[in-house]
Amino acid sequence: MAVVIEEADNPKGLAFVMHGNASNKDLVQIKTFARVFLDNGYTVVRFDTTNSSGESDGQLEDATLTNYYEDLEDVISWASRQSFYKEPFILCGHSLGGMAVALFAEKYPEKIKALAPISVVISGELSEQTQEFKEIGLAWKEKGIREWPSVSMPGMMKRLKWNHVVDKRKYDILPEANKLTMPVLMIVGELDDVTPLEHQKLLYEKLPGEKELHVIKGSGHSFIKQGHLDEIKEIMGRWAVKIINL
């Protein structure tokens, strides 16, 4: 796997930032999240999962939540043997990466200082209830693979096997959301049709600790406009400062 470590001077902590499905560590929104933590004194780890559009091994069409989650565990395990490692740490992830970091936080809550699942996939079941899925699901299943143009990487055609959908059905953040007792920051686009606001609210209402939910007006799922990214930087920056002082 390809991993980037950005070390802060006199670091106040450690943050892992994870990209979403069919994405990579170098997309503008992922770098924006990472930059906020770095600017606030955190050492930041970004990485490309296997079967992503980044530099790690594998084929994008074979991506599953299972492989995303296992890659996250592998990166954290590797990081735990490095000199920059520090617990508890922050986990931040977008979309499918948001689901992976939330599942990790449910499994190892004692390791997590704070959690930022951004535009998070809540469950496989809910994903199949979105309008976006209803429009593409039948053809995807019949063909066995989906092809679509990338929004955040213009000119790129993405491919994803139906097994991605089948695998995701095994996962749901909601049943053990009570374990997410650490501070949680949630952000979603007003026009997100992949992980819509109504799904985000289902998780938000179950979170037992300190929590925030912000809606970026006019934004879809990927936050590619500079104005939306600037708003996210401001929100995450304020939150990061609060986390440092906990």
Q: Give pLDDT, residue 54.
A: 85
- For the stretch 135-194, pLDDT in tens is 999 999 999 999 988 776 777 788 999 999 999 999 999 999 999 999 999 999 999 999
- For the stretch 70-85, pLDDT in tens is 999 999 999 999 999 9
- For the stretch 179-207, pLDDT in tens is 999 999 999 999 999 999 999 999 999 99
Q: Give pLDDT, residue 157.
A: 84
Assigned CATH topology for domain 3-123+172-241: Rossmann fold (3.40.50)
Given a contact cutoff of 8 angstroms between Cβ atoms, the answer to whether 120 and 197 are in contact is no
Q: Give pLDDT, residue 178.
A: 97
Q: Give pLDDT, residue 224.
A: 87
Arithmetic mean of pLDDT over the chain: 95
Task: Delimit the domains of the chain by residue range.
Answer: 3-123+172-241
pTM: 0.95
Residue 47 has pLDDT above 80, yes or no: yes
